[in-house]
Structure 1
Amino acid sequence: MTIYVLIAVMTLALVLLGSSVRVITQFERGVVFRFGRVRPGTRGPGLALIAPVADRLQKVNMQIITQPVPAQDGITRDNVTVRVDAVLYYRVVDPVRVAVDVQDYGSAVLQVAQASLRSIIGKSELDDLLSNRERLNQGLELMIDNPAVGWGVHIDRVEIKDVALPESMKRSMSRQAEAERERRSRVITADGELQASRKLAEAAEVMAEHPAALQLRLLQTVVEVAAEKNSTLVLPFPVELLRFLERATPPETTTAASTAATAPSESAPPTAPARTNGAVPAGRAVYPAAPDAAAVAHAVAER
């Protein structure tokens, strides 16, 4: 009989000892409640001994928690309907407040994040949501962190992940981007033409001072055209001959004056020229008239 009592006592002692020993991991902290009243301080990682009947241990996770914020529909300040989702990073800094002041701190933080996200959408413009997210993330972090501090939770970071736009707005933005690129292309083309015209003007001035440069440029162009067409170009009329004829042709004023001087007066009777059988009278020489350089150039061009 005594042996049975001893076995029962030892079994009860083992059960009580097992219920009074708790194991707390490195990333957790233990909050002890004795008869419903929280004990000061927390239990660190390792073995924690509590009173078997009077105490109750609640473990609190101290790791950084990643909480996705569901997408929220809203209207921006410039009256554009968007759908924005985000991700939230937070951690517990006061286990006692988390265990006492709020029933479910994870759900509470999520609800505050959704409300703050809708609020930040209404206060911002579409361009800010698309290009200035860093400032919006900071403002969203402050809006969520203010109530979370009283619960013993610290918001480490908030990131806006995606901004969903209506299809009509996407098409409008595509047309705007295309028009902007077209404007840049035209400006670059106009600048190129302006620079090219300035260089051509400088080249024309240099060629005007040195006529031989113009002739060399003409010959170079002929060679290039022949190389591109895989053929041989032959000039039917030398350029030097055109220049000689242009210099040899007398001006119009000089020709008119000489004609007036040699013309017979009205009072003198006209004399008929002596007819010969193709012979030239003695003492007179007949010179061919100098050809017109412009007419020769025109004839060459027609060929």
Structure 2
Amino acid sequence: MLPELVGALVAAGASGLVYLTAAARVVKQYERGVVFRLGRLVDTPRPPGFTMVIPVIDRLHKVNMQIVTLPIPAQEGITRDNVTVRVDAVVYFKVIDAANALVKVEDYRFAVSQMAQTSLRSIIGKSDLDDLLSNREKLNQGLELMIDSPAVGWGVQIDRVEIKDVSLPDTMKRSMARQAEADRERRARVINADAELQASKKLAEAAGVMADQPAALQLRLLQTVVAVAAEKNSTLVLPFPVELLRFLERAAQQQEPHPPPPKTATQEPLPGLPNEPEPPPDLPGSTDPTTPLDPTTTFLTHEP
């Protein structure tokens, strides 16, 4: 009798051990356990840790709650300004409702991937090439909203979307390179013209100062000679400005005494003859008694 009882206890312990092994489950910290009992969803997912299910009756599905990095394959499209480009992106999303991620959609990863591809094509068609190259933050936000709207019903939350690369045709790259080169050349010419304008203004001010003080021109000439001599050249070319000659000429004129004015001949009336009327102003012999006469002037004389 005792051996049979011991055998029954051993059999019961073995059955319990097998049942415990079949019913025991461990849910990790980043997972949630969704239980289906006879095909029906149990109300709340199982939290992390040790949990028990009924063998054969319950089915436990573990859902990863971590952020998933999903690359979007490169999509080729035509922008609004008729430029063919290839754009690829990456989507960061996570599951916020484990039950809906299993019940509402068959494969939430594949669904998010397809939605991201179609949304990326739509964004390419609505944007210009300049927006794709320079205004990516705005495009990323618009792409995130387009993907997140249907994903909320799947128990998935889109964390962020980033456009990785924009591939352009070779002809467009050459055109953009020529445009950038022309723009840089234009800016260089504008800068050079502005520098010339400022230099001309400064030179005009310097010329005005030198005109008021002629000695400054000679000092500037001496400074130029010193600067050229500092380079230890064997040949020294010394410029001689015309303004210096004029300065020397004015100085010489100021030092020379003024000669006395030449004496002018006067015409005396002949005795016994009436006074002749004055000649008209346009005659070559007309003179003004109030102004000095030129020695080279030829006078008209009256003979009796």
Q: TM-score range by the shorter chain?
A: 0.7 to 0.9
Contact 1:92–1:152 under 8 Å retained in 2: yes
TM-score scaled to structure 1, two decimals?
0.78
Cα distance in 2 for residues equivalent to 1:13 and 1:119: 59
SS in 2 for 1:228: coil
- Which residue of 261, 264, 289 corresponds with 2:295? 261
Aligned to 1:176: 179
Contact 1:78–1:126 under 8 Å retained in 2: yes
Matches within 5 A, 1:165-244: 165-228=168-231, 230-231=233-234
Matches within 5 A, 1:288-303: none
TM-score scaled to structure 2, two decimals?
0.78
Deviation at 1:154, TM superposition (A): 0.3
Cα distance in 2 for residues equivalent to 1:166 and 1:234: 58
1:132 aligns with 2:166: no
Cα distance in 1 for residues equivalent to 2:236 and 2:52: 108
Deviation at 1:46, TM superposition (A): 0.5
| Residues 172, 21 of structure 1: alpha-carbon distance in 2 compared, 3 angstrom cutoff | same
Cα distance in 1 for residues equivalent to 2:248 and 2:213: 19
| Residues 129, 241 of structure 1: alpha-carbon distance in 2 compared, 3 angstrom cutoff | closer
| Residues 214, 155 of structure 1: alpha-carbon distance in 2 compared, 3 angstrom cutoff | same
| Residues 225, 9 of structure 1: alpha-carbon distance in 2 compared, 3 angstrom cutoff | same
Cα-to-partner distance string for 1:58-89 (whole Å, 9 max, x where unaligned): 11110000001111111100000000000000
| Residues 28, 193 of structure 1: alpha-carbon distance in 2 compared, 3 angstrom cutoff | same
Cα distance in 1 for residues equivalent to 2:105 and 2:195: 68
1:29 aligns with 2:63: no
Aligned to 1:296: none
1:38 aligns with 2:41: yes
Contact 1:26–1:45 under 8 Å retained in 2: yes
- Which residue of 4, 10, 14 corresponds with 1:11? 14
Aligned AA (2:189): R
| Residues 39, 250 of structure 1: alpha-carbon distance in 2 compared, 3 angstrom cutoff | same
1:110 aligns with 2:86: no
SS in 2 for 1:146: helix
Deviation at 1:4, TM superposition (A): 4.7
Aligned to 2:268: none
- Report the identity percentage: 65
Give unmatched runs, 5+ long, in structure 2: 265-293
Aligned to 2:154: 151
SS in 2 for 1:261: coil
Cα-to-partner distance string for 1:16-58 (whole Å, 9 max, x where unaligned): 1111110001000011111000010111010111112211111
Cα distance in 2 for residues equivalent to 1:93 and 1:107: 17
Cα distance in 1 for residues equivalent to 2:230 and 2:97: 85
Aligned to 1:142: 145
Contact 1:82–1:166 under 8 Å retained in 2: yes
Aligned to 2:285: none
Give unmatched runs, 5+ long, in structure 1: 268-303
Aligned to 1:122: 125
Deviation at 1:241, TM superposition (A): 6.2
Contact 1:87–1:158 under 8 Å retained in 2: yes
Cα-to-partner distance string for 1:217-266 (whole Å, 9 max, x where unaligned): 1222222233335247598x996865555657899xx99x9xx738999x
Cα distance in 1 for residues equivalent to 2:212 and 2:183: 44
- Which residue of 81, 84, 87 corresponds with 1:84? 87
